[in-house]
Structure 1
Amino acid sequence: MDQSTISKLFFTVSDKTDGSKYLCYIHDCAGDLNIGVTDAEDVWRTRITDETKAQLLKHYSLKSIEDCLMKLRSSCGKGKASVSVEVGQVVIHLGPSPRDFAMTLAKLDEVDGKVELKELLFRMADSLSHWQSAEGPQALHSPGKNSHKRDNEFAPRKQSSTGPYVGSRKRLPGDSLINPGTKSKRPATGVAFDDDGDEV
C-alpha cells in the first residue's frame, strides 16, 4: 500500500458511553503518519510514532504498519474499536479490555482545528472524485438499480396478455353513457289509440 492510499483512509468509530459517532482518518504529512478524530466541530490528532507502530504490529500480529491501519479501519467498522472523550483529548481503544492497546490524541486549538477540517474535507472530496472517475459513470448509480425502470415508473401500465382484459369495451347503440352496460331509457311516447277501427 502506498502513502497516497494511506492518506485516503476514512472510517467512523463510536463512543461506547453515548453511541455518538466520530470520523477517524489517517493522514501522511511530510513522511509522518498522523491519525485524527473529529466530530465535525472539534479535532483531535496525534503522530503515529515508531513506538506506536511497534504496538500496533504487536496488537494485530501483523508485519506491515499499512496492514495494521487497514485492520484498525476494519475493527472500527465491526464495532471492536471505540473512542472515549476526555478533557482535552480523545482515546482510541482497540479492544473492549482496558489491557488492549489505546492511542491518545490531543485536541487541536480552534484555528488549527478549522484548518485541519478544511484539508480533511478536500481530501475526502478528492478521494471520492478519484473513485468515481475510476469506476466510470455507473458509479453514480446504486448497484442493483435499473435506471430504465425508474424512468418508466410513472409511465402508463400495459395490460398483461395473460390476464383478463379489463379495458374499456366498445359502446353499443342504445347503451347508456352514464352507466355503461345498461340500456338507455327512451322517452315515453304515450299510447296511440286507433279510433278508426271502433264500431258503434
Structure 2
Amino acid sequence: MAEPAGPFHVLRAGPGRFLCYCRPGGAVYVTDAMEVWAGDLGGCPAFGCPCPPEEHGAMLRAALGRGAAELSLGPRSATLRMLEEPRCPAVALAQLPAAEARSQLQALVFGMAGCIETLERRLEAAVETLASSCSPQKNTAQSQQLFLPDPSPRKNRAAGSALPAKRKVPGESLINPGFKSKKASSGVNFEDS
C-alpha cells in the first residue's frame, strides 16, 4: 500500500480530533486513529460540483490549510464540507471495514515515520554543514550578525552600494560636521579672568 501523501490536517468534530490527508489520485481520508473514513474526489459531481476532481482536490487542500473545513459524522459515514466554497460544498466519506482501516492506519503511521526520518536526516545534515563551515567564534559572530544591524557607516545595505568613508578635516567641528571654525584654535587663556 502506498504511503499517504499529505499534507496532514487536524480537524475537530464535537469533542474528538481527526486527522485528514489526501492521496494522489483524488482520495481523501479522515481518521481518529481507531476508525477510517475515505472518499473519492472524483465522486464530487454527485453533490453538484461543476469543477474537475483535480481542482476540487486543490480547493479541499486549501480549505483544510486555512482551517475552513468541517467534518460531520454520521452512522458509518461522514461528510467533509468546505465552508468557504459554495460551488463544491461537501465530500462524502464512507467508513472503511476494520481490515481495510487497519491497513490504512498502518500505512499512515509508517508514512509519517518515514517523513519524520527524512526531516531528521535533513536537519542533521544542515547542522553538520553549518558546524563544519564555521569555527565556533565565526559561528557566534555569524548568528549575531543575522539578528544585529551592521554598525559600519561605510555600507548602506538598503541602497545596495558602498558610500565613501567620511574623512576628518582639520578645524571641522565633531558635533556639527561640515562647519569649519573661522579662526584657528589657540587654547584657553586663563589670564583674562
- TM-score under structure 1 length normalisation: 0.50
Distance, in Å, in 2 between the alignment partners of 1:108 and 1:79 is 25
Name the CA shift for 1:78/1:122 in 2 (closer, same or farther; >3 Å). same
2:18 to 22, 32, 39: 22
The whole-number CA distance in structure 2 between the counterparts of 1:49 and 1:100 is 12
Match of residue 81 from structure 2: 93
Structure 2 residue 1 is the aligned partner of structure 1 residue 8: no
SS in 1 for 2:26: strand
Matched, 1:48 2:36: no
**Residues 138-158 of structure 1, C-alpha deviation per residue, up to 9 Å, x if partnerless?**
68xxxxxxxxxxxxxxxxxxx
Which residue is 2:26 aligned to? Answer: 33
Q: Give the whole-Å Cα distance in 2 for the aligned partners of 1:89 and 1:64.
A: 21
Give the Å deviation of 1:125.
Answer: 1.1
Q: 1:22 offset after TM fit, Å? A: 0.6
2:63 to 75, 81, 100: 75
**CA gap 1:85/1:38 in 2 versus in 1, 3 angstroms:** same
Note the C-alpha offset of 1:72: 3.0
- What is the match of residue 84 of structure 1? 72
Cα distance per residue 1:146-175 (max 9 Å; x no partner): xxxxxxxxxxxxxxxxxxxxxxxxxxxxxx
Instruction: Identify the residue that residue 127 of structure 1 maps to in structure 2.
Output: 115
Q: How many residues align?
A: 127
SS at match of 1:84: strand
Q: Residue 93 of structure 1: SS of its match in structure 2? A: strand
**Residues 142-181 of structure 1: pairs in structure 2 closer than 5 A:** none
Write the letter of the residue equivalent to 1:25. Y
Distance 1:117 1:75 in 2: 23
Cα distance 1:131–1:5, how it changes in 2: closer, same or farther (>3 A)?
A: farther
Instruction: Using the aligned pairs only, state the percent identity.
Output: 22
SS, match of residue 80 in structure 2: strand
Partner of 2:133: none
Cα shift at 1:19 = 4.4
After TM superposition, the score normalised by the length of structure 2 is 0.52
3-state SS, counterpart of residue 120 of structure 2: helix
Which structure 1 residue ranges, 5 or more long, are not aligned? 140-200
Mapped contact 2:12–2:71 kept (Cα < 8 A): yes
Structure-2 change in CA distance of 1:99 and 1:6 (3 Å): same
Q: Which has the larger radius of gyration?
A: 1
Q: Distance in 1 between matches of 2:65 and 2:15?
A: 14
Cα separation, 1, equivalents of 2:62 and 2:86: 20
